[in-house]
């Protein structure tokens, strides 16, 4: 029996899965940080999270339907949009003596990490498009399919969790530029 | 501005992909992107505190 990731196509699948898992990790880490340190995200932070969610959809499509330039295109356009929002936030806090928004992690603020992550995602898609050949995608083994489904379900759950969290923070109106609490929580 | 909307549409898009509906998923991604652009216009068109 062939192992889960032996053929080149399986490696492409593994890399797409790893990229989606990385997006899940970024969204999950931001979510945990938000709750643990009581730092509600600002509107630009939420836009970056939304861009991660959009970028992940391209990878989900790759895993679910096979690899296509259209799917990579979705991830690239989403990552460009996210990099735009993150870059804008970096510029907002680039002036001297500006301490930035929120707490830094490993010396960089989350929006700076997000900018780096979006650039890496764009580079990832570019490399994958260069390496991939047009060929039918083999069906994954049961173990690989189960693993992919688990990551996709986690990604879906994180999108739902962000929708709920954002509603609790901002209600159905605009979010404050510098949020300090949750509108719908006592 | 309902900030949770892009997460809702992204979740629906992912759900459609999980159900095997590629076209619908692409449609929901496009809806998410349109909302993202609208929100960007609302939140990212102010003046930056830098001088050139």
Residue A84 predicted with pLDDT over 90: yes
Contact A110, A102 (CB under 8 A): yes
pLDDT more than 70, % of chain A = 92
Cβ neighbors of A185 (< 8 A, separation 6 or more) are A168
Q: Which residues of A touch B27 (CB under 8 A)?
A: none
pLDDT more than 90, % of chain A = 63
Between A95 and A53, the more confident residue is A53
pLDDT digits (tens, 9 = 90+) for A19-35: 999 999 999 999 999 99
Q: Count the Cβ atoms, other than its own, within 10 Å of residue A141.
A: 16
Distance from CA of A100 to the nearest CA of B (A): 12
Cβ neighbors of A60 (< 8 A, separation 6 or more) are A20, A152, A155, B14, B17, B18, B25
Contact A59, A71 (CB under 8 A): yes
Q: Which of B6, B17, B43 sits opposite A64 (nearest CB)?
A: B17
Q: Which residues of B touch A81 (CB under 8 A)?
A: 33, 36-37, 40
Instruction: Measure the CA angle with vertex A69, ends A68 and A71; round to 5°.
Output: 65
Mean of pLDDT values over A55-72: 94
CA pair distance A180, A54, nearest whole angstrom: 27
Domain boundaries, chain B: 5-37
pTM: 0.91
Residue A93 placed within a domain: yes
Cβ neighbors of A59 (< 8 A, separation 6 or more) are A16, A17, A19, A20, A23, A71, A75
The answer, yes or no, to whether ipTM is higher than 0.90 is yes
Distance from CA of A2 to the nearest CA of B (A): 25
Residue A183 placed within a domain: no
Residue numbers of A between 148 and 167 with CB closer than 8 Å to B: 152-153, 155-156, 159-160, 162-164, 166-167
Residue A132 placed within a domain: yes
Structural domain of residue A79, as residue ranges?
Answer: 9-170
Residue A145 placed within a domain: yes
Q: What's the token pair of residue A16?
A: 């797409």
pLDDT at res. A102: 83
pLDDT digits (tens, 9 = 90+) for A133-171: 655 566 778 888 899 999 999 999 999 999 999 999 888
- How many folded domains does chain A comprise? 1
Residue A2 placed within a domain: no
pLDDT at res. A99: 85
Residue numbers of A between 78 and 107 with CB closer than 8 Å to B: 78, 81, 84-85, 88, 91-92, 94-95, 98
User: Hey, is the C-beta of A183 within 8 angstroms of any chain B C-beta?
Assistant: no
| Mutation site, A45, A54, A89, interface B, largest B CB count within 10 A | A54
Q: Which residues of B touch A49 (CB under 8 A)?
A: 7
pLDDT digits (tens, 9 = 90+) for B1-52: 688 999 999 999 999 999 999 999 999 999 999 999 999 988 888 777 776 5
């Amino acid at each position: 029996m062939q192992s889960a990731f032996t053929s080149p196509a399986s490696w492409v699948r593994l890399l797409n899965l790893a990229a989606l898992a990385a997006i899940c990790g970024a969204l999950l880490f931001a979510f945990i940080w938000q709750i643990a340190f009581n730092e509600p995200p600002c509107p630009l932070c939420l836009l970056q999270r939304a861009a991660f969610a959009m970028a992940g959809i391209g990878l989900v499509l790759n895993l679910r339907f096979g690899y296509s330039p259209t799917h990579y295109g979705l991830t690239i356009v989403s990552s460009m949009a996210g990099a735009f929002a993150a870059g804008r936030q970096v510029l907002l806090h680039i002036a001297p003596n500006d301490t930035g928004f929120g707490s830094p992690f490993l010396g960089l603020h989350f929006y700076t990490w997000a900018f780096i992550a979006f650039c890496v995602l764009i580079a990832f898609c570019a490399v994958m498009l260069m390496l991939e050949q047009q060929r039918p995608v083999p069906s994954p083994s049961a173990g690989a399919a189960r693993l992919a489904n688990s990551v996709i379900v986690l990604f879906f759950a994180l999108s739902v969790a962000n929708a709920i969290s954002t509603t609790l923070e901002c209600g159905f109106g605009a979010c404050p530029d510098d949020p300090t609490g949750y509108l719908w929580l006592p | 501005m309902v900030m949770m909307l892009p997460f809702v549409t992204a979740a629906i898009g992912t759900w459609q992909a999980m159900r095997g509906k590629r076209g619908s998923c692409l449609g929901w991604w496009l809806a998410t992107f349109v909302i993202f652009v609208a929100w960007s216009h609302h939140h990212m068109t102010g003046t930056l505190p830098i001088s050139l």
